[in-house]
Amino acid sequence: MSKPAILTVDDDQQVSAALARDLRSKYGRDYRIVRASSGEEALEVLAELTLRDRPVALIAADQRMPRMTGIDVLAEAQQRGYAVGAKRVLLTAYADTEVAIQAINDIGLDHYLMKPWDPPEERLFPVLDDLLGDWHTENPDQTSELRVVDHRWSDRGHEVKTFLARNHVPYRWLDVELDEEGRRLADLAGAAPEDLPLVLPAEADPLRAPTNVQLADALGLSTQAQQPLYDVCIVGGGPAGLASAVYAASEGLSTIVVERHAPGGQAGTSAAIENYLGFPKGLSGADLTARALAQVQRFGAELVLARDVVGLEQRGPVRAVLFDGGAIEARSVIVTTGVSYRRLEAEGLDDLTGRGIYYGADASDARQVEGDEVYVVGAANSAGQAALNMAKHAGRVVMVVRGTDLEASMSRYLIDRIEAHPSIEVRASSEVRSVRGDGHLEGLTILDRGTGTCTEVPASWLFIFIGAEPRTDWLGKEVARDRRGYVVTGPDLVRGATDAGETSTWPLPARAPYALETSVPGVFAAGDVRFDSMKRVASAVGEGAMAVHLVHRYLATT
């Protein structure tokens, strides 16, 4: 695979040469640096690269050029379908700030940089590092050495792809039924149907229908704790858990995070989080997760993946988090396991789950629905974001909503975009009653709740985003929960928010529970798993940080 290109567009030869020099010094080993001295020349270069199927990772265009401004160049390239997915940067003067901000909305500009950018180590490279890292995550086929061979409707194959994508492992997917290369590789490996998915690392033996633990081990991801005892064990790697890890490790606590799938939680699968403070263009859940993970690793917290926690034990002053094949002991525990989507009650659904029917969706899932009709069940923000992301690739997206509209459960900015999108239809007062298909989803029966009539529709894709159920069964009876399974903390313990009615479940008469402390002293809960939490990314991050402050107070008294 040829090096991805970075294209610079500037009519000032001196500035253009300086920019190219800086880019070559930092990125010349991994990228081809291409210069254009006008908008017209840039479009010609992009046309040639497109014809040759050469990847373009980033375009940096100067705004103040004659005949075509930088925004004009970026907009025209987008309209012509050149360098699809390339990160777009505008080089501006201070007076162009308003125009640049408007371009974020109009053409999806990724960033604007003030000139001059000296020193580049502080004002240029950090921005481009982030953008190029995002490009590589979004375009795994351009850089991958890991290959996955399976067929389109494989439930385990979908799980493998999801695990790889959410752990930011680039891979190339080959359909054994449609791709000549996929069939050749399966034959070379002597893979029987039960061996699929076949995972082919660049420098390891083939993996045949691997479990997540086997996959993680082969890829060098950590699946075992390195120490016998930690100050804090964080169960769950969503926004609350990652925030706890950053604050705990940065403040000197020995810290470990246990995550059963991949970091990021439900937020990590979001195609766009547009109301998170400090990101006016929004950011993807994968981007937010990658940034958080970099901080976690920088401060030295451990991360154990592919481990499903099954129990919690008190061992004197120590808490033990149990999982299949082992346990992690810590002086305190923070529960940040979040919630999972509630199962849809529809006839035939269980047999086809993973074969065209999925709970939630990764941003990367949208690529496999190219040109198809997609059904999305749900009316909250997660469903709206998924519908908008799917609509970039699908021929049509139909949202199936039980309520009469989206107003009660979705943010206004998402409603406005859905209503304005020509490829999205909202079927209100409706629900999926049954599904059908031979080996994979082929059709749905949709009930109109207003008229009572049912309609049969052909469908290959159904993504479900309904309700939320906390993953708390593993905590046992000692940790108080409300009737729906959410963990009760702090003052709510003595206010009777649990099944125990008005009886206090707090065992220590000498002090009241800390704000995020559960009914087991030293065990805290943060984020969506907690009773009466806000269910927003920002609040989960805040609670994760607050939990560490309370852990310090607890450890100081034990």
Sheet strand arrangement including 318-323: 309-315, 318-323, 326-330
Report the CATH number of the 232-340+469-556 domain: 3.50.50.60
How many other β-carbons are positioned within 10 Å of the β-carbon of residue 105? 10
349-464 CATH pick, 3.30.70.1150, 3.50.50.60, 3.40.50.300, 3.60.10.10: 3.50.50.60
Mean residue pLDDT across the chain: 91
Distance between CA 12 and CA 10 in Å, rounded?
6
Query: Beta 461-464 vs 339-340: how paired, if at all?
Result: unpaired
Average of per-residue pLDDT across 490-494:
88
- Which tens digits make up the pLDDT trace of 208-244? 999 999 999 998 899 999 999 999 999 999 999 999 9
Please say if the pLDDT value at position 436 is more than 90.
yes
Q: Note the pLDDT of residue 281.
A: 82
Longest dimension (CA), the chain: 77
Q: Which fold is adopted by the domain 5-141?
A: Rossmann fold (3.40.50)
- Which tens digits make up the pLDDT trace of 260-318? 988 988 888 887 788 888 888 888 888 899 899 999 999 999 999 999 999 999 999 99
Q: Which fold is adopted by the domain 144-218?
A: Glutaredoxin (3.40.30)
Q: Where are the alpha helices (DSSP H) in 139-235?
A: 155-166, 180-188, 212-218
Do the domains 232-340+469-556 and 5-141 match in fold?
no
**0.95 surpassed by pTM:** no
Q: Where are the alpha helices (DSSP H) in 421-532?
A: 491-495
Q: Are 487 and 497 in contact (CB under 8 A)?
A: no
% residues pLDDT > 70 (the chain)? 96
The residue ranges of every structural domain in the chain are 5-141, 144-218, 232-340+469-556, 349-464
